[in-house]
Chains A and B, each alone.
Chain A
Amino acid sequence: MAPETSTMTNDPILKVEHLSMRFGGLMAINDFSFEARRGDITALIGPNGAGKTTVFNCITGFYKPTMGMITMRQRSGKEYLLERLPDFEITKQARVARTFQNIRMFSGMTVLENLLVAQHNKLMLASGYTFLGLFGFPAYRQASKEAIELAKHWLERASLIDRADDPAGDLPYGAQRRLEIARAMCTEPELLCLDEPAAGLNPRESHSLNELLQSIRRDTGTSILLIEHDMSVVMGISDHVVVLEYGQKISDGNPDFVKSDPRVIAAYLGVEDEEVEEVIEQIEEIEGEQGGTKQ
């Protein structure tokens, strides 16, 4: 893609190490480690109930992991241990934004207002924690004008500019998905986490979503981590795919490698009883090869 992304390939933006999450007796995630490189689109896939959303919730602070370390390394070199930050600080300081599997809009607020809420922390500072803004100081007026400009920029990118003054709850489903992404981008994140952005979209909409995500990555340098079931999205845009099954990583690599990995095929399609031996053999063979190349 863009030249700078290839030079930064060895620079991980997010490092998840030995992540484990236990809910009572259920080990939802078991010793899961992966890295997302800066400027990459990393996809996290797996069958239903594999623990993808749990990983997301751990990264974005909505769950506190039972074990493990999640390190976010910003462009400036500043590092944050996400498992130690409260959820809102992860967006505010570590600059990790997220969207939700079931869309969470401020449905009674207009589309524009949704994007202004996302710029809360910036505007809060500009309004002198409300006190200066209350008395109409010009600094706040300037800042709110800039905030509207930024919102306008993202509305244009998400082709929602015509609906800016309509309530968010009035938008069709696909537009709400795009709005959620635009809203997350208004927090000016370095890492954007998308939980099934293409769920419920028709092929045309998911194609335009692909373009939106690629343009976000290209123009802002934002790294993207996404959970997705739609293989046309995953294989079409991601640089790196991590496959999760029963809370454990079963495959990790570029899309082509993952697509042909027998463990992934087995996990997704299942194997017939008489072929189990064969598949295990194949897997061992591959692991042997990998071991050989590593040495």
Chain B
Amino acid sequence: MANIASTTASAGTEVTARALREAVFAGLVTLGLFVLFVGLKTDQNIRNELVLTQRWGLLATFVIVAMVGRFLMVAYAQPWLAQRKAAKAAAPEVVKEEGFFSRNFSKIAIVALILYPPVILALTGVQGSLKWVDNFGIQILIYVMLAWGLNIVVGLAGLLDLGYVAFYAVGAYSYALLSSYFGLSFWVLLPVAGLLSACWGMILGFPVLRLRGDYLAIVTLAFGEIIRLVLINWTEVTKGTFGVSGIAKATLFGIKFDASKDGFAALMGLPISSAYYKIFLFYLILGLCMITAFVTIRLRRMPVGRAWEALREDEIACRSLGINTTTTKLTAFATGAMFGGFAGSFFAVRQGFVSPESFVFLESAVILAIVVLGGMGSLTGIAIAAIVMIGGTEILRELTFLKVVFGPNFTPELYRMLIFGLAMVIVMVWKPRGFVGSREPTAFLRERKAVSGSFTKEGHG
């Protein structure tokens, strides 16, 4: 016992001695490197002459930082890492039993989402709940739905679509225009908007059938811009940049959400507040999201879904197996676009106002970023990515304490794109295949084993 203690003690002193040696060495290297860069500085004096300023204090700081860093690295960090590695190697291969939480993740998530509005209502009161239900709940769920729709095109079929926002716009304007010109209700126009978007998905699909990769991306990008420019310039119908306002609200089985005598609040005996309409919208978009998820999961287990994934893996092999790649691509575009259209008409009904400004390329980029960040093809990963990205940017508005640090003129939401980009880089370095990189097989004989992301392809688009 004493023997072991003495050997570890001697090993400890040995490490410390080595760390000291290396620290001195690192200090010398730093001194050599920085003596001319940092230690000496040339300046112009008042007579435009060059003078040499000496900054020995700064140089000493550099050297000390390097020495201390090296010492800590060798004396503590490296032994700790080695120990951890050894412990990991020594530990027997444990078959990780998935915990209750990860096994039932999607069920727990759905229950949590259903309980979200009442809980918020209880916590923050009727008026306080507005922000949490609308800005966080509805906003995130819209992006979840859009990203799940795009996931069919990009994640499953492997066709890179940079103009997805066009279908979102088609859906929004379908509802806005048809309801204001013909007075049709939301429930009639929701499927109509989906169908119209699907049609536009096909129309986009036809010219890009033979394109691959970068070419496909460019043409879809152009398509998105065309739709936006048409919306801006076809002023007689779309009112151009002014947008369409005063769009009719959705109703619950004919019950209106307004202050009238037979409105929802009056019928339920509740105080009049716009919060109830927002909660209704929350459940509406939650329902739409569930439909999207259900259809996607079902389709993946059907021949058409498998054909999409096979198309992503190898198009030529697909054709050699008798799969019509033309119709397969078109169905992918149409299905993805349809969900975009649903989300668009929901967006119109929520805002009560649509203008071409909501459908810029940046939106497409954000949706695509969510799909890529979440892990292409994985619904759970994409939902998490949407919460992180959209919830994160909304949270920025709440960070008022930063004003104390950076001064009263600091507005954190202006740094949205900077943080967005930084977060993407970090996630892509840490998890190159997104949050959920593995793929769930659609059929199995004995056990369902997730396919590692290193085998799946990104597709040719």
Contact = CB atoms under 8 A, between A and B. Distances in A.
Contact of A92 (B299, B322, B325): B322
A37 interface: no
B306 A88 contact: no
A100 interface: yes
A106 B451 CA distance: 12
B442 A113 contact: yes
Interface in A132-147: 133-134, 140, 144
Interface string A96-140: 011110001111111011001111110110010010011000001
Nearest to B306: A117
Contacts of A120: 303, 306-307, 321-323
Contact of B299 (A107, A130, A161): A130
Contact of B445 (A105, A144, A165): A165
Contact of A88 (B310, B313, B319, B446): B319
B321 A118 contact: yes
A169 interface: yes
B320 interface: yes
Contact of A98 (B320, B439, B448): B320
Given A104-B314, A110-B441, A148-B445, A121 B322 contact: yes
Contacts of B295: 134
B366 interface: no
Contacts of A140: 302
Contacts, number: 140
A229 B375 CA distance: 43
Contacts of B444: 110, 112, 164-165
Interface in B445-461: 445-449, 451-452, 455-457
Nearest to A114: B310
Given A88-B325, A165-B449, A107 B320 contact: no
Given A113-B441, A123-B303, A167 B452 contact: yes
Contacts of B400: none
Contacts of B447: 165
B298 interface: yes
Interface in B315-367: 316-325, 331
A238 interface: no
Interface string A166-180: 111110000000000
A87 B299 contact: no
Nearest to B335: A130
A134 B302 contact: yes
A164 B298 contact: no
Interface residues of B, number: 40
A60 B457 CA distance: 25
B319 to A, nearest CB: 5
Interface in A148-204: 148, 152, 161, 164-170, 183-184, 187
Contacts of B441: 109-110, 112-113, 165
Given A92-B322, A121-B322, A104 B449 contact: no
Nearest to A162: B446
Given A116-B306, A124-B303, A109 B320 contact: no
A91 interface: yes
B323 A88 contact: yes
B375 to A, nearest CB: 13
Contacts of A113: 306, 309, 441-443
B304 interface: yes
A112 B442 CA distance: 9
Contact of B319 (A87, A112, A167): A87
Residue picked from A62, A100, A109, most chain B C-beta under 10 Å: A109
B320 A104 contact: yes
A133 B323 contact: no
A105 B309 CA distance: 12
A119 B320 CA distance: 12
Residue picked from A105, A127, A167, most chain B C-beta under 10 Å: A167
Contacts of A89: 322
Contacts of A130: 299, 302-304, 331
Interface string B167-207: 00000000000000000000000000000000000000000
14 contacts: A88-B322, A89-B322, A100-B316, A106-B309, A106-B317, A109-B309, A110-B441, A113-B441, A117-B318, A117-B321, A123-B302, A133-B298, A165-B444, A170-B455
Given A120-B307, A168-B455, 10 more contacts: A62-B319, A88-B321, A91-B322, A104-B317, A105-B314, A112-B444, A117-B310, A120-B321, A133-B298, A144-B301
